[in-house]
Amino acid sequence: MKTVLFVCTGNTCRSPMAEAIARFQVEAGKIGQDHGKIFVISAGTSASDGALVSNEAIQTLKRMGIAHDGRSKRLTSQMVRAADIVFGMTASHVKQARDLVAGEKQQVAKIHALDECGDVWDPIGLGDVAYDRIAAEFMELIPRRLSEVLAR
């Protein structure tokens, strides 16, 4: 089984949405058929353990027919080491995850930007339209990036 870890700042918007969307796509057979089972989790570089996922994120997922009931978790070096693939929402998240396992080449090598073209912007405070837009981007981006990284 491969473990995929999505990382953002507070683990209340982007990374839990990415986690839920990736899990939905794995369960629908859109990701991972050639790579075995995939377990998906998320965490935040500055998360407070146990915080609720934002209402906007939950409502966006519901409109897509995707359930998510997780709580926030602070990113730890143990999480990074336990994951097979780590995707950061921004260059800063990638750097912070790499800093947790600095000097461990194999660990650092499995940490990637989710979007190689730039940072995934934060929809917090921007309303439902912004969350819907991020979710639509994730529906396209996540299967492509997971397939690319799993194929390496």
Single out the catalytic residue among 13, 14, 23, 98. 14
Single out the catalytic residue among 71, 74, 84, 122. 122
> Do 7 and 93 form a contact (C-beta atoms < 8 A)?
yes
14 is an active site residue? yes
122 is an active site residue? yes
Single out the catalytic residue among 8, 13, 98, 115. 8
Count Cβ neighbours within 10 Å for each residue of 46-80 and write b for 16 or more, e otherwise. ebeeeeebbebbbebbeebebebebebbbbeeebb
117 is an active site residue? no
The rounded distance, in Å, linking the Cα atoms of 54 and 20 is 13
Annotated active-site positions, please?
8, 14, 122
